[in-house]
């Protein structure tokens, strides 16, 4: 990885921190268990939609044991609007069963242990580790992060795991969690999938896409 690319990535990070000083995880949660459930729900679903579901959900189920013992049909109906609700309900109940039975009801705080939970991949594990435990073990690669990091020229990869490795190689470790929040904030407000608003972007001179696109 070239030093020039690292320097560009760090400058992008600096400007995005100035533009989005309040960037954070937008899934509402009060503890690691709630974030685990919310992140499972967020697959192919907006955080806004998840946040409409979780107040009633977390009022009904307050512990890992509650979720583990939940009636599957009832759980499915409570999360139905998140899409893929049958699979998500099974994963939530199964993951919480492991948390309740093997971890004393506390969500584990290591990558290896989190990946052992049903329905939990690196993305979900990174979300929990970074936002609940302050551990930068990796970088969350969602659709925004994948799209924008490729547009900017920070990676050429298409597979999330490869994108993550490329970004980890050029960004300071202590900023990995925040960088995802910053790209997500940029993606929701400016660098949208259909039509990125390059004139409003704080880093057009550092972005491969913007430098090739004619700016009106």
Cα distances from 179 to residues 74, 116, 127, 154, in angstroms, run 37, 26, 12, 13
Q: Annotated active-site positions, please?
A: 123, 142
Q: How far apart are CA 203 and CA 194, in angstroms?
A: 18
Are 185 and 203 within 8 A, CB to CB? no
**CA angle, 110 as apex, 27 and 124 as ends, to 5°?**
30
- Token pair 């690319």 is at which residue? 5
Are 185 and 23 within 8 A, CB to CB? yes
């Amino acid at each position: 990885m070239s030093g020039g690319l690292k320097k560009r990535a760090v400058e992008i990070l600096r400007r995005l921190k100035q533009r989005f000083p309040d960037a954070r995880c937008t899934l509402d949660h009060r503890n690691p268990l709630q974030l685990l459930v919310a992140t499972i729900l967020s697959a192919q679903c907006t955080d806004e939609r998840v946040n409409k579901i979780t107040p009633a959900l977390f009022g009904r189920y307050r512990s890992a044991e509650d979720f583990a013992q939940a009636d599957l049909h009832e759980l499915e109906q409570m999360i139905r609007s998140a899409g893929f609700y049958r699979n998500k309900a099974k994963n939530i109940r199964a993951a919480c069963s492991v948390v309740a039975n093997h971890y004393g009801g506390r969500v584990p705080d290591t990558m290896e242990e989190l990946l052992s939970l049903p329905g939990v991949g690196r993305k979900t594990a990174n979300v929990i580790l970074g936002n609940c435990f302050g551990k930068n073990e990796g970088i969350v690669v969602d659709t925004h992060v994948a799209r924008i990091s490729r547009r900017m020229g920070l990676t050429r990869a298409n597979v999330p795991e490869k994108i993550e490795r490329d970004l980890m190689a050029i960004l300071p470790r202590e900023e990995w969690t925040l960088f995802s929040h910053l790209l997500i904030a940029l993606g929701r407000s400016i660098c949208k999938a259909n039509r990125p608003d390059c004139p409003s972007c704080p880093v057009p001179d550092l972005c491969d896409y913007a430098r090739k696109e004619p700016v009106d």
